[in-house]
Amino acid sequence: MSMGRVRDRWAVLGLVRWVLAALVVNEHLLQACSWWLPVIARTPFRGRVAVFGFFLISGYSIAASFEREPEHFYRRRVERLVPAYYAGFALCLLPLAYAPPGPDIHCGGWPIDWPSRLSMLATALCLQGFIAPAASVAAQYWSLSCEVAYYAVAPLLARFERVAWTLLACSAMIDVLAVALRWPDHVYAVYGLTALRLAWLWVAGWLYHRHRRRPWAGAWLVGGVAVITCLANLGQNQSLAGPWPTPLVAGVALAIVLAPRIPLTEPLARVLRYLGDLSYPLYAVHLPVFIWLGLHKNVPPLASAALVFALAAAVHHGLERPLQRRWKAHRERPVTLDAAR
């Protein structure tokens, strides 16, 4: 595979990540504008299922990262996660400071539970979903502690592939049975139940990358993801899963399979990679801003969306890129000195 094809792969997946982030933003726009509900009702894909697609892409991309450079793996993950994560967490304080005291926060006509101290502490430590539910003003962060848990076990999965297959099978079975067992919703579960339920998506992406050159690997990925997603969402409330959860997640799997085969011009590839770079800060910062805007009651939806997109770009250019360049230079400095000697 040529270097151009590799760049095209991440450009295509960058576009997919941006679309998934936009679906999450679309759903949470309700917090700023209560009358956005009819638009969401007509949207066939829900933000929560979009996060499932994120897990698939994450497992695939982390497998590629670990294969390419296993050294400093944990450090690179921390450097990638921290800037936008704590920018979004700092913004969570904005609606809390502005809202009048009471048991909940009314934004855009919709109540948000006032977060407990334990929820805020768990979110600050990226342990939401393990020691306490995610703070309501940063409810979208429920998925990030799952990501961190998957990063933690990635070296183990790389060394013992049988563990990866076992985790995939057990997690998929639990996710399918979770509705019948009446487990709590993904966002507000604790004790790591959500991370366990959805690990199969991340591991499926991870294993596909390792076996992507085998015949029919792509068909197995898309077909397996479609079947498990369908079974895991039978009887689910459509307000949570949406009417088409299976096509969305299977579509992400298909994009992973086809991405290396899609030719792109270099200017278009740069644009798509840039959109992919913006997807994480957009995901991290949008909800507390929408809640804060919802307190004002009369902010138009397009203005609200434009503000969070601009803020995500500011976080990316003003915080993420400078810090990551500095950390990368510091990480590579000893190698440069040794080579000079």
Higher pLDDT, 307 or 38: 307
Question: Which residues are bridge partners to 145 per DSSP?
Answer: none
Q: What is the pLDDT of residues 174-187, one digit of tens each?
A: 999 987 777 767 77
| Domain assignment present for 340 | no
Q: What is the pLDDT of residues 274-297, one digit of tens each?
A: 999 999 999 999 999 998 888 876
Task: pLDDT band for 336, please (50, 70, 90 cuts).
Answer: very low
| Domain assignment present for 16 | yes
Q: What is the pLDDT of residues 146-163, one digit of tens each?
A: 999 999 999 999 999 999
Share of the chain above pLDDT 70, in %: 90
Q: What is the pLDDT of residues 115-148, one digit of tens each?
A: 888 999 999 999 999 999 888 888 899 999 999 9
Q: How far is CA 95 from the centre of its chain?
A: 23
Q: Look at residue 322 and tell me whether its pLDDT is greater than 60.
A: yes
Q: Look at residue 46 and tell me whether its pLDDT is greater than 60.
A: yes
Share of the chain above pLDDT 90, in %: 58
| Domain assignment present for 22 | yes
Q: Look at residue 108 and tell me whether its pLDDT is greater than 70.
A: no
Q: Look at residue 53 and tell me whether its pLDDT is greater than 90.
A: yes
Q: Look at residue 102 and tell me whether its pLDDT is greater than 80.
A: no
Nearest in space to 81 (alpha carbons), one of 100, 56, 109, 62: 62
Residues 56, 208: Cα–Cα separation, whole Å: 10
| Domain assignment present for 218 | yes
Q: What is the pLDDT of residues 187-240, one digit of tens each?
A: 778 889 899 999 999 999 999 999 999 999 999 999 999 999 999 888 676 666
Q: Look at residue 33 and tell me whether its pLDDT is greater than 60.
A: yes
pLDDT the model gives residue 12: 94
Mean pLDDT of the chain: 87
Residues 25, 309: Cα–Cα separation, whole Å: 10
| Domain assignment present for 335 | no
22 contacts 46 by C-beta, under 8 angstroms = no
| Domain assignment present for 96 | yes
Q: Look at residue 103 and tell me whether its pLDDT is greater than 80.
A: no
| Two tokens, residue 39 | 């638009």
pLDDT the model gives residue 340: 41
Q: For residues 305-326, give the mean pLDDT.
A: 94
Higher pLDDT, 41 or 319: 319
What's the start-to-end Cα distance of the chain, in Å? 34
Higher pLDDT, 113 or 28: 28
pLDDT the model gives residue 307: 93
Domain containing 319 equals 3-329
pLDDT the model gives residue 151: 97
| Domain assignment present for 322 | yes
Q: What is the number of domains present in the chain?
A: 1
Q: What is the pLDDT of residues 21-31, one digit of tens each?
A: 999 999 888 88
| Domain assignment present for 214 | yes
Q: Look at residue 66 and tell me whether its pLDDT is greater than 90.
A: yes
